[in-house]
């Protein structure tokens, strides 16, 4: 009888475990017991080999079927996977831990620069009209002297002889190959033998620069603009990244914004609310609009003026202006005004009584 432990027990999974569950279990065991993480620990190395053997069987449909039916005896006579097959089989798992293999290696050479993200505050007027503003930044920029290569003009970067230009070096332990960043070129794949005297071989220098950003009419807080090519400089002459501008809208004393709609308040006298009238408003873009107040307008009533709100950023017209009516009540009255209001109150009372008996 075989003295080997049950493969499912080794991986800590049930016999009906899915392929993904088996993969996750092996990945966890490999990460925990890998010799590179447990130098000098023979027991951990033994557990790693045991888990690898178990995974080699359970992850293969044919071998798993024979193992489920006959146990370890069912695997006798089956050809063992060579190191290349095993390496290919485990590539996706170990790349998560040790930096990737084969085609996943990062080669040196030109590379796109990183993106930059900044925040800018606009007024409601800026948002309504659209505007252009400079964004000041102090960032690395590609060195003009060497065009970003880091090599002195007239010379070139040389391929790294340690890694052969791939940026990584590999070592094998048993049938598993491990990859790490090349110590000679720091993963670049090339080295600078004669560095640029301006940037000292870095390929970039730090400068203060300004970027003109155009904000379209109707832009709102929480939205983001992308300015192509204004991010960090590329590596070894590669293209620059992008600049992303996050918009913040400053509070306005007179208006509130709700999408494409503007909300404001207009004060009218009691007589204007009762008899009807007009109220003049100045919008954030300094244009004037006249609000028609119908007779009998109640305090807090909203008058909607279509097409007088914010321009839509997609160019499809404008939102509405929502005007909340406030009725002014005077705090002090002359004797004549008080007498007139008493007469009005009596007249209104008689009108209500007549309405009840009609």
Which residue ranges form the domains of the chain, and what is each CATH number? 7-80 (1.10.287.110), 116-153+199-249 (2.60.260.20), 256-348 (2.60.260.20)
Q: What is the mean pLDDT of residues 148-177?
A: 82
pLDDT higher than threshold 80 for residue 163: yes
Confidence of residue 318 (pLDDT cuts 50, 70, 90): very high
Percent of the chain exceeding pLDDT 70 equals 87
CA torsion angle 347 350 354 356 (round to 10): 120
Confidence of residue 292 (pLDDT cuts 50, 70, 90): very high
Q: Do 175 and 94 form a contact (C-beta atoms < 8 A)?
A: no
Unique residue bearing structure tokens 């119908």: 294
Q: What is the mean pLDDT of residues 280-308?
A: 94
Q: State the alpha helices, DSSP H only, in the chain.
A: 7-11, 19-33, 42-58, 61-70, 83-98, 124-129, 270-275, 335-357
E-strand stretches of the chain: 116-122, 131-142, 158-159, 168-173, 176-181, 190-191, 204-215, 224-227, 243-249, 256-258, 261-269, 277-282, 288-293, 302-305, 321-328
Q: Mean pLDDT check: name the lowest of 28-32, 153-157, 169-173, 304-308.
A: 169-173
Residue pLDDT, tens place only, 16-69: 999 888 888 888 887 787 765 677 788 888 888 888 888 888 988 888 888 888
Higher pLDDT, 74 or 60: 60
Q: Do 218 and 311 form a contact (C-beta atoms < 8 A)?
A: yes
Rounded-to-integer distance, Cα 122 and Cα 21, Å = 51
Rounded-to-integer distance, Cα 274 and Cα 295, Å = 5
Task: Count the neighbouring beta carbons within 10 Å of the beta carbon of residue 199.
Answer: 21
Phi then psi for residue 48, to 5 deg, are -65, -45
Q: Tell me, what's the pLDDT at 45?
A: 81
Rounded-to-integer distance, Cα 71 and Cα 52, Å = 17
Q: Which two tokens stand for residue 263?
A: 């909300």
Confidence of residue 260 (pLDDT cuts 50, 70, 90): very high
């Amino acid at each position: 009888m075989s003295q080997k432990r049950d493969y499912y027990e080794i991986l800590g999974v049930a016999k009906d475990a899915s392929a993904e569950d088996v993969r996750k279990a092996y990945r966890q065991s490999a990460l925990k017991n890998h010799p590179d993480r447990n130098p000098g620990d023979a027991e951990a190395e033994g557990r790693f080999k045991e888990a690898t053997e178990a995974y080699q069987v359970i992850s293969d449909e044919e071998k798993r079927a024979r193992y489920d039916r006959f146990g370890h005896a069912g695997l006798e006579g089956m050809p063992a996977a060579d190191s290349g097959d095993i390496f290919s089989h485990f590539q996706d798992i170990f790349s998560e831990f040790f930096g990737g293999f084969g085609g996943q290696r990062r080669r040196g050479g030109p590379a796109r620069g990183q993106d930059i993200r900044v925040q800018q505050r606009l007024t409601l007027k800026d948002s309504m009209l659209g505007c252009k503003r400079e964004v000041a930044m102090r960032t690395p920029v590609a060195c003009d002297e060497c065009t970003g290569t880091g090599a002195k003009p007239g010379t070139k970067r040389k391929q790294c002889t340690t890694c052969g230009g791939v940026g990584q070096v590999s070592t094998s332990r048993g049938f598993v190959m491990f990859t790490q960043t090349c110590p000679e070129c720091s993963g670049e794949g090339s080295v600078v033998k004669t560095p640029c005297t301006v940037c000292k071989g870095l390929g970039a220098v730090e400068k203060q620069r300004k970027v003109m950003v155009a904000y379209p009419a109707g832009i709102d807080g929480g939205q983001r603009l992308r300015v192509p090519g204004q991010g960090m400089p590329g590596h070894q002459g590669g293209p620059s990244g992008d600049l992303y501008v996050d918009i913040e809208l400053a509070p306005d004393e007179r208006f509130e914004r709700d999408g494409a709609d503007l909300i404001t308040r207009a004060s009218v006298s009691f007589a204007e609310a009762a008899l009807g009238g007009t109220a003049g408003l100045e919008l954030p873009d300094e244009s004037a609009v006249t609000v028609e107040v119908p007779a009998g307008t109640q305090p807090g009533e909203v008058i909607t003026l279509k097409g007088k709100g914010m321009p839509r950023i997609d160019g499809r017209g404008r939102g509405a202006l929502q005007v909340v009516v406030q009725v002014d009540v005077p705090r002090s009255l002359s004797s004549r005004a008080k007498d007139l209001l008493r007469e009005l109150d009596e007249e209104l009372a008689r009108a209500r009584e007549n309405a009840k008996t009609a």
